[in-house]
Structure 1
Amino acid sequence: MPDPTQQLIVVTGASTGMGAAAARELARRGFQVLAGVRREPDAPRATGIEPVLLDITEPAQVAALAARVAADGRPLHAVVNNAGIQVNAPVEALPMAQWRRVFEVNLFGHVAVTQALLPALLRSRGRVVNISSIGGKAAMPTYGAYAGAKFALEAVSDSLRREVAPLGVQVVVVEPGGVRTEMAARGIATANDLAAGMTPEQDERYGGLVRAINSLMASGTASGLTADAAARVIAKAVTARRPRTRYPVGRDAAVLTRLTRVLPDRALDRVIAATVRRHSATA
C-alpha cells in the first residue's frame, strides 16, 4: 500500500462515536483525515485530522468538500460514509417529514458525497466504505425508517460495487451491531418524543412496544463494542489490500446476519418477537 502520509481519507459524521474514533484511528495510522463535522468545535483533535464543516444534506457543503479534495495534491484513498441519525417509531405513527429526514441523512446524503468524490476516487483507484448497520439486514419493530434507509444503502453499495469494480474502485460495507456511542441515547430520546405525539389509540397499540424496544436498544448498547473497537474494523475495511465486501461489527451483528441467511421469515419473526418480549417486563 502507498505511504499513508501521502493520502487523504474523508470521514463523514466525525463529531462523535464511531466517526470520531475512526478519524482518530486512521490519523494514527498516518493518513491525512478530512473529518466532516457540523460544528468545528465538535471535531476530534489529533495530529493528521483536519476538520471540515459538512452537513451531507447541504449541496453547497458537499461541493466545498469536493473542491477541497480536488485542490489537494494528495490522492483520495477512501471516503467513509458514516454520518447518520436514528429515528424509531411504528410505521403508522412516524410523520412523513421524519421518514424523509431519515432517508435524506442515512441514504441520499451518502449518495451525494459519493457522487461528488467519485472522480477523485477513480483517479486514485480508491474505495468507498459505507457504514450500514445490522438494521440493514434485519428490521426490528419501530425501525421501519432507519432499517429502510440502511437496507437501501446496502443495495446502493452492491450496485455501486458492480459499477466501479472494473474501474479499480472498491466498495465495502461495514455493519455494526451494538456499539457504545451516544447515538443510542439520542435515538431513545427521539423515540420517546415521537411516542409522546402518538394518538391515544396508537399509544394503546404501540406504547408497550416502544418501551420494550427502548429497553432492548439500551441493553444492546451497554453490552456492545466500544467505538474504538468498531473503528479498528472500519480501519481494516479502509486499509485491507483485498477487503471483503462486508464487515459485521460485533458478535450480535455476526449472529443476526447468519440468522437472516438461514431462517425463513416467520421463524425470524418469532425470534425477534421473543427478544422483544424479554424486554417488555423490564420496560
Structure 2
Amino acid sequence: MPSESVLITGCSDGGIGSALAFTFQQRGFQVFATARNTAKMSELKNLANVTLLTLDVTNSEEIGEAVDAVARATGGTLDYLINNAGQNHFRPILDENIEETKDLFSTNVWGPLAITQALSPLVIKAKGSFVFVTSIAGYGNTPWMGTYSASKRSIEIIADTLRHEVQPFGVSVKMIVTRAVISKGQTYFGDFALPENSLYKRIENTIAARARGEDGITRMPTAEYATAVVDEIVKGTSGKFWYGDYAKEVEHVWTPKVPQEMLDAGAVQGTGVDSLG
C-alpha cells in the first residue's frame, strides 16, 4: 500500500485537479480524487491506487462520506488535502445576481473551508499539509472579474491565517497562486450573455471572449504545471508558491519587502499561538 495519501477536490477531466491526481498517482501516492460527478473523471478511472469519490464541496453529507471513506482506507490519516475545486465567473459588478454570487462564494470559499475542517483531524494526525489552489486574479482589479477575484482572495486570506493557527501542531499550509494554465475553466461560457439593460451590452462580445480565454494570453500546459506544483507540495513547507505563465511577474510586485518570518512573528505576537508549540 502507498505510504502517503492525498485527497484532491475538483478532479474532472481536463482540469488542474485531474493533472495533479495523475501526477501524484505516478509517484506512488494513494490518491482520493473527487468531483461532483465521478463519470467526469474518466482519465483517472482504473488507475492503480486511485479512489474516485463523489464530492460536492458545498454538500455536507457528501463531505462526511468522503471523510469516512478516507479514514477507512488509511487508518485515520491524510497526508495532503488539496483544495482545488472552484467555480469560474465573469460579470460586471453592476450586473451581478446576488444569489448567484452567494453560490460562487459557497463553492470557492465556504466549500474549501468546510472540507478543510472536516478532514483536519486526519491531516493533523498525519502532521500533513493543507493546500489551496488560489489565483492571481485575487491580486488585481480586472474588469468583469470582481466577485470571482474577491472569492479567490478570500479563501487565500483564510488559508494564510490557518497557516499560523496549525503551525503549532506540525501542519503546513501551502497556497498555490496560479495564473494562465490550460484547463477547462474557460469552456463554461459558450452561452455568456449580459442583461438587456446592461451598461456594457455593446461590448458583450468582448467580455464573452475574455471569459472564454480568448484574450491573447499564453497558458502553461496543465501537465507542466502539475509537475512543478506537486514538487512544491511534497516539500511540506508553508507559504505561497506562485506558478503559471506570468505568475512570477505578479509575485515580484506583491512580495513583501519585509522578510516573511518577521511579518509572521508580528502577526502571532500576543495571540497565544506562540504558546501552543
- Which TM-score applies when normalising by structure 2? 0.84
Q: Map Cα deviations across residues 97-146 of structure 1 (whole Å, 9 max, x no partner).
A: 22111101111100000000001111110000100011122231111111
One-letter amino acid of the counterpart of residue 65, structure 2: A
Structure 2 regions of 5+ residues with no counterpart?
Answer: 257-277
Aligned position for 2:214: 218
Aligned position for 1:273: none
CA–CA distance in structure 1, aligned partners of residues 140 and 119 of structure 2: 30
Whether the aligned pair in 1 keeps the contact of 2:7 and 2:34 (CA below 8 Å) is: yes
Q: Map Cα deviations across residues 130-179 of structure 1 (whole Å, 9 max, x no partner).
A: 00011122231111111001110110011100000111110000011111
Q: Map Cα deviations across residues 30-72 of structure 1 (whole Å, 9 max, x no partner).
A: 1110101122222223222110000111000001111112223
Match of 2:144 among 142, 147, 156: 142
Match of 1:94 among 93, 96, 102: 96
Aligned position for 2:244: 250
Whether the aligned pair in 2 keeps the contact of 1:14 and 1:20 (CA below 8 Å) is: yes
CA–CA distance in structure 2, aligned partners of residues 117 and 36 of structure 1: 14
Mean Cα deviation higher: 232-241 or 150-159: 232-241
Aligned position for 2:3: 6
SS at match of 2:31: strand
Q: CA 1:9–1:27 in 2, change beyond 3 Å: closer, same or farther?
A: same
Aligned position for 2:162: 160
Q: CA 1:163–1:134 in 2, change beyond 3 Å: closer, same or farther?
A: same
One-letter amino acid of the counterpart of residue 251, structure 2: T
Whether 1:228 aligns to 2:223 is yes
CA–CA distance in structure 1, aligned partners of residues 21 and 90 of structure 2: 27
Whether the aligned pair in 1 keeps the contact of 2:109 and 2:154 (CA below 8 Å) is: yes
SS at match of 1:131: strand
CA–CA distance in structure 2, aligned partners of residues 130 and 198 of structure 1: 37
CA–CA distance in structure 1, aligned partners of residues 198 and 178 of structure 2: 35
CA RMSD between the two structures: 2.1
CA–CA distance in structure 2, aligned partners of residues 228 and 73 of structure 1: 27
Q: Deviation of residue 189 (structure 1)?
A: 2.9
CA–CA distance in structure 2, aligned partners of residues 260 and 8 of structure 1: 33
One-letter amino acid of the counterpart of residue 250, structure 2: L
Whether the aligned pair in 1 keeps the contact of 2:5 and 2:78 (CA below 8 Å) is: yes
User: How many correspondences in the alignment?
Assistant: 251
Q: CA 1:92–1:28 in 2, change beyond 3 Å: closer, same or farther?
A: same
Aligned position for 1:23: 21
Bigger helix share: 1
Whether the aligned pair in 1 keeps the contact of 2:172 and 2:238 (CA below 8 Å) is: no
Q: CA 1:161–1:134 in 2, change beyond 3 Å: closer, same or farther?
A: same
